[in-house]
């Protein structure tokens, strides 16, 4: 049997459950997950390997109208993911109000086979799900429609079978033991950013970037230094908290996530730095890894 390999792009609006789906499909925590929208900023690859196939899943930022240079970079990553795709999984959910125009416009450029995934059906009823299926069948006539719960793993196997059934014949794109294209520094920074999203309210998480400045792998201990970048002094004060309490909470939970992820003891130190309006400045965005 010929080897199959291909790029499968997971596309959709913010908070549809794309990152939860990606983690469920890959079987590893590749993408950070929080209840807030626009948590994912980078395109992240998660790779599933088998003797006969290699699936390269691509979790992408939620499709939005850009307000900052940061948003523009995020949308370029979505565009790139659609261009590369051998197969597209459009993730919507039962709360969607049929206002997917921005997403559908991006999909017009693709000739890749499309599956629509209606997520969060565990929070719905049969009649609502049936109406959603009918709407998407008429709107897009996709190759398949799946009613799923990414959080509870419902219909994940059916999606995997569909993906494998539609992969092109191709040699592997990555080494067969590769899980992702991202390095350990990236995942360390994402675990800190995940806690920033979970511990702070309003604009703070969206004004924040995390840069790992040192990552030293010892035999018994990994030493990690990171900078949390914010846009204003007032945000710096909120991040640190009274007597450093808030920063301590972020550090504790981020360290626990890292120890579980890296299977290693972690020493983590964090500093907070102000770079005014970094989200609008392309030189900083480039420095922070945004294309």
Q: Rounded to an integer, what distance in angstroms lies between the CA atom of residue 161 and that of residue 166?
A: 9
Domain count, the chain: 2
The reply to whether 60 sits in an annotated binding site is yes
Residues 91 and 152 in one domain: yes
Using one digit for the tens of pLDDT, what is the confidence trace for 226-235?
A: 999 999 999 9
* 143 shares its domain with 201: no
pLDDT in tens, 146-156: 999 998 989 99
The domain that holds 73 is classified in CATH as 3.40.50.300
The answer to the question of whether 155 is labelled as a binding residue is: no
pLDDT at 32: 65
Structural domain contains residue 224? yes
Q: Is residue 172 part of a domain?
A: no
Same domain, 211 and 128: no
Range of 95's domain? 4-166
Model confidence pLDDT, tens digit, residues 94-118: 887 766 778 888 888 788 999 999 9
Contact predicate 29/22, CB 8 Å: no
Q: Is 119 annotated as a binding residue?
A: yes
pLDDT in tens, 236-271: 999 999 999 999 999 999 999 999 999 999 999 999
C-alpha span between 285 and 281 (Å, rounded): 6
Helix (H, G, I), strand (E, B) or coil at 76: helix
Are 16 and 141 in a shared domain? yes
8 is in an annotated binding site: no
Any binding-site annotation on 17? yes
**Do residues 68 and 212 both lie within one domain?**
no
What pLDDT is attached to residue 102?
A: 80
Tell me whether residue 102 is annotated as binding.
no
Mean pLDDT of 19-43: 78
Contact assessment for residue 60 and residue 18, using Cβ atoms and an 8 Å cutoff: yes
Same domain, 32 and 151: yes
Task: Give yes or no: residues 134 and 278 share one domain.
Answer: no
Could you tell me if 22 and 145 lie in one domain?
yes
Q: Nearest CA to 91 among 47, 27, 5, 155?
A: 155
Query: Is 175 contained in some domain?
Result: no
Q: Is 204 annotated as a binding residue?
A: no
Question: Is 18 assigned a ligand-binding role in the annotation?
Answer: yes
Is 122 annotated as ligand-binding? yes
| Assigned domain for 195 exists | yes
Q: Are 106 and 133 spatial neighbours (Cβ–Cβ below 8 Å)?
A: no
- How does residue 188 score in pLDDT terms, banded at 50, 70 and 90? very high
Tokens of 155: 């219909």
Give the per-residue pLDDT at 54.
95
Residue 30 clears pLDDT 90, i.e. is over it: no
Q: What is the 3-state secondary structure (H, E, C) of 131-158?
A: HHHHHHHHHHCCCEEEECECCCCECHHH
Q: 14 labelled as ligand-binding?
A: yes
Predicted pLDDT at 65: 75
Cα–Cα distance measured from residue 53 to residue 2, given in angstroms and rounded to the nearest whole number: 9
Query: Among the three residues 121, 139, 166, which one is the final residue of a domain in this structure?
Result: 166
User: What is the per-residue pLDDT for 97?
Assistant: 74
* Residue 289 labelled as part of a binding site: no
| pLDDT confidence tier of residue 209, bands split at 50, 70 and 90 | very high
Q: Is residue 280 part of a domain?
A: yes
Q: Is 99 annotated as a binding residue?
A: no
Contact status, residue 46 vs residue 179, Cβ threshold 8 Å? yes
Q: Tell if the pTM clears 0.85, that is, is over it.
A: no
Supply the CATH number for residue 272's domain: 3.30.300.20
In a domain, 174, yes or no: no
Q: Is the distance from CB of 94 to CB of 129 less than 8 angstroms? A: yes
- Both 206 and 122 in one domain: the answer is no
On whether 13 is known to bind a ligand per the annotation, the reply is yes
Contact between 140 and 111 under an 8 Å Cβ cutoff? The reply is: no
Q: 261 and 148, same structural domain?
A: no
Residues 208 and 274 both lie in one domain: yes
Residue at 124 is within a domain: yes
Q: Are residue 149 and residue 38 in the same domain, yes or no?
A: yes
pLDDT at position 98:
67
Domain membership flag for residue 210: yes
């Amino acid at each position: 049997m010929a080897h199959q390999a291909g790029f499968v792009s997971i596309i959709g609006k913010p908070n549809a459950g794309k990152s939860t789906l990606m983690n469920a499909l890959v079987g590893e925590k590749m993408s950070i997950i929080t209840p807030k929208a626009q948590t994912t900023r980078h395109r992240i690859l998660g790779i599933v390997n088998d003797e006969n196939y290699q699936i390269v899943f691509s979790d992408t930022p939620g499709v939005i109208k850009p307000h900052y240079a940061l948003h523009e970079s995020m949308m370029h990553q979505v565009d790139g993911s659609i261009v590369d795709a051998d197969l597209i999984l459009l993730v919507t959910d039962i709360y969607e109000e049929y206002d997917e125009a921005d997403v559908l416009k991006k999909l017009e450029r693709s000739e890749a086979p499309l599956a629509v995934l209606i997520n969060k059906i565990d929070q719905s009823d049969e009649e609502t799900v049936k109406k959603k299926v009918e709407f998407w069948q008429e709107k897009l006539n996709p190759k398949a429609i799946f009613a799923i719960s990414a959080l509870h793993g419902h219909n994940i196997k059916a999606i995997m079978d569909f993906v494998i059934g539609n992969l092109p014949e191709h040699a592997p794109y990555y080494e067969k033991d590769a899980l992702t294209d991202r390095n350990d520094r990236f995942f360390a920074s994402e675990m800190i950013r995940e806690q920033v999203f979970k511990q702070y309210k309003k604009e703070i998480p969206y004004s924040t970037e995390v840069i790992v400045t040192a990552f030293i792998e010892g035999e018994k201990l990994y030493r990690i230094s990171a900078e949390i970048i914010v846009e204003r002094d007032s945000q710096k004060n909120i991040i640190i908290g009274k007597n450093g309490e808030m920063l301590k909470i972020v550090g504790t939970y981020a360290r626990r996530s890292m120890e579980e992820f890296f299977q290693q003891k972690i020493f983590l130190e964090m500093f907070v730095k102000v770079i005014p309006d970094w989200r609008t400045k392309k030189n900083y965005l480039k420095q922070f890894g945004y294309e």
